Chains A and B, each alone.
Chain A
Amino acid sequence: DAGVIQSPRHEVTEMGQEVTLRCKPISGHNSLFWYRQTMMRGLELLIYFNNNVPIDDSGMPEDRFSAKMPNASFSTLKIQPSEPRDSAVYFCASSPNGQPQHFGDGTRLSIL
């Protein structure tokens, strides 16, 4: 079975640029989560969707971050404009309601 698929695996870009991270959840999973992980702050939930609807975006750091889920098989996390402090590993995860989450491989983002 295909797991959660994230792209790109690595992204290096200059500050001020727009960054778009992509995620394809496991088919049949109706909850999708975006996390950010750094050494200092650990794993932080940014936003999660249930049945394509954003339910809780209280973890989104600021207006530079936005996330969409136009359909059940695709989600994006966008940062515009990007800043060096956004450098982190961004994980997407999916699950059936209330069940343990399955994580993608992550996107390692570096903002110079």
Chain B
Amino acid sequence: RKEVEQDPGPFNVPEGATVAFNCTYSNSASQSFFWYRQDCRKEPKLLMSVYSSGNEDGRFTAQLNRASQYISLLIRDSKLSDSATYLCVVNGAGNFNKFYFGSGTKLNVKP
């Protein structure tokens, strides 16, 4: 079983739509969670950390559900510029320096 699993998509949504991605992780002892964004032919970039209480950054909301071992990313009022691949990242339990990346969920926002 993979450490981190994501639906690869693609999610095709119109501008202005709300879209949500989930990501499941296998190790219940993991402590750090992040969402990264990767544009085509570019490097992954940190989008936001995910905190236990949930957190928001503008149109983006991240949540953690420890009981079900998943994290989510909600994008409201999606823009064309949100089109990218979103990578879920979880650290290894017992090794806070080792991070596991999901394979990514591709989002296409269309006019």
Instruction: Tell me, in angstroms, the Cα distance from A91 to B44 when the chains sit together.
Output: 9
User: Which residues of A have CB within 8 Å of B103?
Assistant: 42-43
Specify the chain A residue showing the minimal Cβ separation from B87: A43
Contact between B99 and A101 (Cβ–Cβ < 8 Å)? yes
Q: Does A55 contact B (CB under 8 A)?
A: yes
Instruction: Tell me, in angstroms, the Cα distance from A98 to B46 when the chains sit together.
Output: 14
User: Which residues of A have CB within 8 Å of B96?
Assistant: 97-98
Q: Does A103 contact B (CB under 8 A)?
A: yes
Contact between B46 and A102 (Cβ–Cβ < 8 Å)? yes
**Interface CB pairs A-B, < 8 A, 19:** A33-B99, A35-B101, A42-B104, A43-B101, A43-B103, A45-B99, A48-B97, A56-B95, A91-B43, A95-B97, A97-B96, A98-B96, A100-B49, A102-B46, A103-B43, A103-B44, A103-B45, A105-B42, A106-B43
Q: Does A104 contact B (CB under 8 A)?
A: yes
Interface size for A (C-beta < 8 A) is 21
Contact between A104 and B104 (Cβ–Cβ < 8 Å)? no
B38 CB, min distance to chain A CBs, angstroms? 8
Q: Does B24 contact A (CB under 8 A)?
A: no
Q: Does B25 contact A (CB under 8 A)?
A: no
Flag B85-111 by CB within 8 Å of A: 1 or 0 each: 001010100011111111110000000
Contact between B46 and A48 (Cβ–Cβ < 8 Å)? no
